[in-house]
Structure formats: structure tokens, C-alpha cells
Structure 1
């Protein structure tokens, strides 16, 4: 027997940025919830990368104890591109717009996976006054504060060796590349093996890998190519002061090939009060592989935020 169905109030919103991008967002839970969780996804993914975490939080949302906002980063999912140059700093400004428009009041906990974690760091550099006041906690999952591509032994380092000429050629022929991609859909065994080897740990199920492959396959060639220089240029290791004002939980899988453990150790060194979690047999897609670990951290941060609010 299954329990009673959970009823969650949901609305879809479009946040328009100053440069004309339309950021597609989904808001679960009531506006008067005591806290809001805002989740930012990674490169060539979409807000669906947080679905497993969202499902585990559904009882709390249905009970009115939490509002959850997931959105597609510009150029990803259902969000448009806008007119600005593609940089991680621009993504930080986008996150600020999401907060200002969809969560203008009340305590907020931020969660960022991969490029989404970098987005939170960029927000901290641009809007430090939010941290410790509006933003009460941060979860950083499978991410980096900089020096992402210098190690040629990592997957990110190997991709960085692609020349600008190769990338520009691929972008110019995006339609052709897209047609080629359709010949190897996410259901194809070779596609799934490639995704598994690059992004997942030993315990990942076939269902996890297929779900992740489908999310990434829905991304365009342009999103893959246009964001690559932004990731390479991302550097916030000396600009994390805002995050020292709030509790931070850092997660990395011991099999992560895109943002290996050293990046999380660097974050932990820069944020002495942060809690560092290295999860065994887990790859880059930690929000799918080990969502309960992430939810437990979110619950801790929400409890701390509630305690701070009660004491204020």
C-alpha cells in the first residue's frame, strides 16, 4: 500500500533579466513558507537535475514548511540566452534576479551543483550583502572555485585542450552536429557507457544514467560550446568572503572526474567553517546518485536558519 498523495502548490514563472534573457523557473510550495530553497544546476543540464532532491523534500513542501525554486540557467532548458557575454559572473547576476523576483523576503538556502555552485560563488562576489541576511546557508555539490581545467589528467582538463578553431567550427556547424547526435540517442548503449564513464560512480543504476543522459541530450551544442570558456575563466578562490558568513556544506564524489576532490578541499580551506563530505563510489552527478546526503544537508541548514530566526 502507498501513502496518501501529496498535494503541492506549484507555479511556473519567467524571470526577465536586464539583458533580455527569460529564465524559466518552477516554484513549489506556498509563498508564506518559513524558508525558501533555491537550486541552480550545472553545465549542459537543466533544473531536472535536482528532481531527486526535490522528490525527497516533497513531504516538507506539501506540509507548507518549505518553498523550493528550481530554474534553468540561461541557454539551458527552457531559458533563453539574452544579450550579455556568457560568463559565470553573469550567471551570478541571473541568480540575483531570481532571488529578487521570486524570493524577495524571508530566509533562503542556496544549493548549487557544478556550474550552479560557481553561480552561487559569483553571487557572493557581486552581492555580498545578501549572505548572512537573506541567504542563511549554502550547499555546494561537485563544484570548484577555480583552476578547473589546468590538470590535463581530468575530463575538464582534456576538454580545455580543444582549440578555439575546433569549437568555432562545431558551433558554426551546430545543425549538422545536432543531426549526428540524433544517431546516438540516450537509449543507445554506447551513449550510456560514455555518460556513465564520465559522470557516474560505481553504484549508479541504469535508470540514473539514462535520466542524466536524457537531460544532457536535451541541451544544445551551443550550450556546450559557449559555456566552456566561461568555466575555464571562472576564478573565485580569493573572493569567497561572503560565504564565510553562513553555514556551508560541501559535497564531492570520490570518483568525480569533472570537479575532483582537490576542488572541494580548496573550498574547505577557503571556508574553514564549512562541512566537507567526500562520498564514496560516487561521480559528478551526486544529486542523482546520493540525493539523501544532499537533502540531509539542506535539512541541517534549514534548521540552523530557523534557529537563527527564532533567536533574532
Structure 2
């Protein structure tokens, strides 16, 4: 399967489509690729409003020496949704457990999570600590947070951030309730519009980010239903896994942060590093929240450090 990202065409090695059925019956779309006889499998979890395609560059590169699994979080990409479902990060952790159970039943696993995907790994650690140090042999937490996201200012002045924190929850609630109408309205501002891409770059990228990466990210966000975007917002604000990081201390861990990240500021990565003192913290200069798409070569280079020596 071919995917165009950051101005290039990348082939997800052997990207064989799979379906994972979650504990509550939702079907998740996944692709298994890479070196099928490799000693380890790398499982990628993507962030809010995105899809597994945000990991295309890293999955292709690591697939040269490792087995890879990418999947779409529920409600995102090509994965399903359950009517009446109230999103929670804990459920995403249960979904990741289903992915491991059905697609990676044995062998060492390296878990890689960006933003909400990193929170998903934390939820898995909270509910299944026995996996860490046994099945899970490495963890990468990329531009993510253990909680207190309601305090994020997006880099705005205090008065503006106060207004944003009051208005944004209402907008998200409206998006969830009137998702179909919101999606119709979004068509008036398609992702190819320069205004949209400027907004995406300001919020999610550094000032020198490749234009093609910004455009590809805008496409992913536009493809995510407004219902999904709005429904997951409260779950992100409720997320608090500071007390659940202990299992991750059992394995080599990497914390990657963008110096200019507005959504999960670098201070949140420093807090993770304080809770995981043996983890390696890498702050990427000049980059924002979308590290997997803004600087995939840098991300891949550091992810390789988590693979077994014989990979």
C-alpha cells in the first residue's frame, strides 16, 4: 500500500491489512508489515485527530529490520466506532491490548506512541503491568503527556488562553453532538487551503517544517470526523496517568519532545523523565508537536536504539 507523506512516496513493507476486534466489539483497521522473521515487533499508536498514516515514514524505515504493526485508533482512519460510546484513554489501552493479543501473540514488542498514542501506552501499563519487562521490551513516548492537559495554554498570553479554555470545550461538545453538520461546514475550508495549512503549522509544527508534511497532516485531520474530534477532547482533559508509569520503568524507554510543542509542551516531557529516571529524554530543537511527520528521520534514528541488538 502506497502513502504519500512529506513530499515522498513511501511503501509500508508488506502492508497487509488486518482487522482487530476490541473488547466491546469495535473493529480496528491495522496493517502488519516489515521483516516477518525479525526478532522484534514495533507497534505504533497514533495521536488524536490523526491515523496510522502519520507513522508511515518510521514504519517503512524500521520495517527493514523489524516486524511492524500500525493501526487506526477507534473512530480514526479506517477503524470503527460504537454508537453511544463515551471515549476514554483507558479504553484505548484496552484496544492496544487487543492489538497485541491478536496480531503479536508472542515475541518481544517495542511500543511507540505519539501524543494520545503515548497516553494509550500508559493506560496499557496501568491495566497490564505484567507485560512490561516480559513481552514489552521497550517504550517510546513521543510528544505526549501523563496528564494536566487542561492547564496547557497553547503558548498564548494568559488572557487569551483563559478564553480558549472556556470556549474550546463548548466547541468540542458541539462538534460531537452535531458532527454531520460540522463536517459539512468543514468542507468550506478544505485542507489544501493556505489558511488551513497555516493554522495547522502554527499549532502543530515548527516554523521551518516541510510544507508537504504540514499539508499531509492537514489532510489527516480533515479526514477525521468532527464527532470523533469532539468526543475525545474530554477524555484527553481527564487523562491522568502520573501514578501509572511504574511498569514502564522496567524497560528501556525513550521520551521524545518537540522544543516548540504547543499541545504537549516540553515541560510535560520533563515531568515524564522525572517519573522515568532511567529513560532517555531527547528534545528536538525547532520542532513542534508533529515529530513523526516533521522530522521522521530523527524520530527513526532514536527509535532504532530501542530495537534488540540483533535487529
Q: TM-score, normalised by structure 1?
A: 0.89
CA contact (8 A) 2:263 2:289 kept: yes
Does residue 221 of structure 1 match 2:222? no
- Partners of 2:12 and 2:148 lie apart in 1 by 44
Q: In structure 2, what is the Cα distance between the partners aligned to 1:205 and 1:151?
A: 26
Matched residue, 2:199: 194
Q: 1:7 to 1:102 in 2, by over 3 A?
A: closer
Please give the alpha-carbon distance, in whole angstroms, between the structure 2 residues aligned to 1:47 and 1:87.
Answer: 19
Task: Indicate which of 265, 268, 278 corresponds to 1:263.
Answer: 268
Q: 1:219 to 1:7 in 2, by over 3 A?
A: closer
Q: CA RMSD in A?
A: 2.1
C-alpha separation in 2, matches of 1:151 and 1:110: 26
Structure 2: 5+ residue runs without aligned partners?
1-9
- State the partner residue of 2:139: 138
Report matched runs for 1:87-166 at 5 Å: 87-152=88-153, 154=155, 160-162=165-167, 166=171
Deviations 1:200-234 (A, max 9, x none): 00220110110000011100101110000100000
Report the CA distance shift for 1:266/1:157 in structure 2 as closer, same or farther (over 3 A): farther
Report the secondary structure of 1:250's partner residue: strand
Question: In 2 relative to 1, CA 7–202 (structure 1 residues): closer, same or farther, beyond 3 Å?
Answer: closer
In 2, the alpha carbon distance for the partners of 1:212 and 1:172 equals 25
Which residue, out of 34, 38, 44, partners 1:33? 38
Q: Kindly indicate whether the alpha-carbon contact (under 8 Å) linking 2:12 and 2:56 is maintained by their aligned counterparts in 1.
A: no
Residue aligning to 1:76: 76
How many residue pairs get aligned? The number is: 297
Deviation readout 1:216-269 (Å, 9 max, x if unpaired): 110010111000010000001111011000000111111100000110000000
User: Where does residue 3 of structure 2 map in the other structure?
Assistant: none
Gaps of 5+ in 1: 308-312
Distance in 2 separating the partners of 1:188 and 1:275? 39
Structure 1 equivalent of residue 251 of structure 2: 246
Name the stretch that deviates more: 28-37 or 240-249: 28-37
1:74 touches 1:80 (CA, 8 Å); kept in 2? yes
Distance in 2 between the 1:87 and 1:158 partners?
Answer: 25
| TM-score using structure 2 length | 0.90
The equivalent of 1:286 in structure 2 is 291
